[in-house]
Amino acid sequence: MPVAGTQTTASLAVPIHDGTTAVSLIVTSPSGSVSTPAPTAVDGGATWTAPVTYTVAGVWGLSWTVTGTGATHEHQLVSVAPLSGAPGDGRVYATTTDLAAYLGAAPPVEAGRLLERASELLDADFLLTAIYDVDCAGRPTHPLVTAGFRDAVCAQVEFWGEVGEETDISGPLQGAQIGSVNLQFGAGANRASPSYYAPKLVRALRTIPSEHIQFTVLASC
């Protein structure tokens, strides 16, 4: 899957061709703007290629027209992903390289977006009033805190890869404890197991020594 902001080579196979065969290409962006990169024959005309720059994420249309021998029209739809790891408005506590190391495998195409979502979840549900040293950008400064947050968001992305993004298997988190904080989400007698959050996320936060971070609140949604 192409990624926004990158140039790729679009190609068309033309099995029936000769010296009269010619190919043109119209590229339509998700916004409807049109460009016409010039295709070039390779393999003696059996394949035609053209450079296409996908400037934004979304569904792009490629319309090929073959004239002369092998005349035909072919339309292709290309789904373009957002730039992986593109910065958002909030803090992101792990890079795609961190995630690859954590997984011991190539990260998913959407790794950048998933890490951003996992970092937002960590901020909103676990760190809202936690106390720890930060820099001017609000990022943790102690290496043990940085490592704990990194592993926590990587664990959440790994968890989403196993059960589906943001899947809540058996209900919202209730009763998990990290240090001095009890996290209870939801209410009533029907208490569910904490399956919304990766178990290894909670364990990663528990590895941070208490002298470097204080979880001091009861969080509820």
For 133, list phi and psi in degrees, rounded to 5: -75, 135
Q: Is there a single domain that holds both residue 34 and residue 74?
A: yes
In a domain, 88, yes or no: no
Q: Is there a single domain that holds both residue 67 and residue 108?
A: no
Letter string b/e over residues 118-142, b meaning 16 or more CB atoms within 10 A of that residue's CB: bbbbbbebbbeebebeeeeeeebeb
In a domain, 220, yes or no: no
Mean pLDDT by 10 residues, the chain (221 residues): 84 95 95 94 94 90 96 92 57 89 86 90 90 90 96 95 64 49 48 68 93 70 40
Q: What is the CATH number of the domain that holds 26?
A: 2.60.40.10
Distance CA 183, CA 219 (A): 5
pTM reported for the whole predicted model: 0.54
Determine the Cα angle at 178 with ends 176 and 180, to 5°. Answer: 115
What pLDDT does residue 183 have? Answer: 52
Burial class of residue 25, CB neighbours in 10 A (0-12, 13-18, 19+): buried
In a domain, 119, yes or no: yes
Q: What is the domain count for the chain?
A: 2
Query: Residue 18's domain spans which residues?
Result: 6-80
Q: Is there a single domain that holds both residue 201 and residue 100?
A: yes
In a domain, 52, yes or no: yes
Please list, in sequence order, all residues whose beta carbon lies within 8 angstroms of the beta carbon of residue 207, skipping any fewer than 6 positions away: 144, 148, 151
Q: Is there a single domain that holds both residue 75 and residue 109?
A: no
Integer-rounded Cα radius of gyration of the chain: 25
What pLDDT does residue 194 have? Answer: 47
Residue at which a domain ends, from 54, 80, 106? 80
The structure tokens listed for 41 are 């024959």
